[in-house]
Amino acid sequence: MNAYPRINIHLDTITDNTKNMVSVCANHNVKPAGVTKLACALPEVANAILAGGITLLADSRLSNLKKIKHLRAQTLLLRLPALSEVEDVVEFADISLNSELVTLQALSKAAQAKGKRHQVIVMHDLGDLREGGFFEEETLALCREATHLPGIELVGLGTNLACYGGVEPSNSNQSQLVALARQVEADNQLTLQYVSGASSAGLGLMMRSELPKGVNQLRLGASLLMGIGLNDDPVPNTRQDTFQLEAEIIEIKVKPSVPTNSTALDAFGNKPEFVDRGLRRRALCAIGKQDVDISELTPVDKNIIVIGGSSDHLILDINDCEQPYEIGTPVKFDLSYGAVLQCMTSEYVHKHMI
């Protein structure tokens, strides 16, 4: 018997998207990392990415890297390591992104204790104002310190864009990163393995042949798993139908469109507003705001109107639908990136591999 709510995951689409992106990147001398965080690093999804030709799997959370450490791939921790987790970072991540000397020193001690050599990519902030040193002198100094720490190997310079500040990857800011990387190499007499320019948001720049030579890594997640890049625009040669949510109808009733004497706040502290459409046929589905932001759901049936919901219920207007919905019928929804992330994180949403 089918279990609902569930998110359907098309593994073959992920593999096809990955193959296409690996091929396109190779044409521009870029070797992508495959980011698994959208799928909470489910091993089935990670294997689908590996089947597409990826050799480096990346995730923001150590608990996710633990799920895939047994797979035949290198692992990269995307979120800056916390001091409280450095022992696990050295154990489960081959590479980590870093921006703080105290953290690098702690990683050095942990690596020495385990008899390991931990690789690090130092992050530089090019204006998006998330992680990394903002001033070049600061980043250069951190790189110099990293080269002198036992158990630590400086292997790259990276930056993050279009995640917090909405700064788009450009030829200008990527050229700044390459120039700084060359300075790091000259100062420390080494060759960096990675100049890690951006996420899937940088694919458009690369495909227009505007990504500077020297940027040799992009951290790809959304493009592999959902076929989207900057501003959630579709990426050429990919499909966007990897994920689909199904939620089961548990009630169908004809009711007014506006509650009777609505004066209180809703369960989330908001003052609700309503559109009076008269008496309408409405359906309750067994999923709610605890699982997903319902404003990020798009019904596949275009005649369905998402009215609202509470923690555990989704309320739909099915009055104008041609399909004969009944109790027990699953309703299908397309999802935004944020909605996929929430559904994958919710333990109440079943994951169905296809």
Which tens digits make up the pLDDT trace of 22-61?
999 999 999 999 999 999 999 999 999 999 999 999 999 9
CA 137 to chain centre: 31
Q: What is the pLDDT of residue 263?
A: 64
Q: What is the pLDDT of residue 267?
A: 65
Q: Residue 272 pLDDT > 90, yes or no?
A: no
The CATH number assigned to the domain with range 11-226 reads: 3.20.20.10
CA angle (341 as vertex; 93, 229 as ends), nearest 5: 85
Predicted confidence band of residue 301 (pLDDT cuts 50, 70, 90): very high
Per-residue model confidence as pLDDT tens digits over 107-121: 999 999 999 999 999
Instruction: List pLDDT tens digits, range 311-335.
Output: 999 999 999 999 999 999 999 999 9
As a whole number, the mean pLDDT across the chain is 96
Residue 265, pLDDT > 70, answer no
- 147-183 b/e with 16+ CB inside 10 Å = b? eebebbbbbbbbbbbbeeeebbbbeebbbbbbebbee
Name the residue ranges covered by the structural domains of the chain.
11-226, 243-353
| pLDDT digits 0-9 by tens, 189-237 | 999 999 999 999 999 999 999 999 999 999 999 999 999 999 999 999 9
- Say how many C-beta atoms besides its own lie within 10 A of residue 66's C-beta: 16
- For helices 11-26 and 43-51, the axis angle rounded to 10 degrees is 40
Rounded Cα–Cα distance for residues 32 and 206 (Å): 12
Q: How far apart are CA 2 and CA 171, in angstroms?
A: 49
**What is the Cα–Cα distance from 277 to 138, expressed in whole angstroms?**
60
Confidence bin at 133 (pLDDT 50/70/90): very high
Q: Tell if the pTM clears 0.85, that is, is over it.
A: yes
> pLDDT at position 271, please?
73
Please tell me the predicted confidence (pLDDT) of residue 82. 98
Q: Which CATH class is domain 243-353?
A: mainly beta
pLDDT digits (tens, 9 = 90+) for 156-176: 999 999 999 999 999 999 999
Please, what sign has the CA dihedral across residues 159, 161, 167, 169?
A: positive
Residue 270, Cβ density class (10 Å: 0-12 exposed, 13-18 middle, ≥19 buried) = exposed
What pLDDT score was predicted for residue 264? 60
| Active centre residues (catalytic) | 37
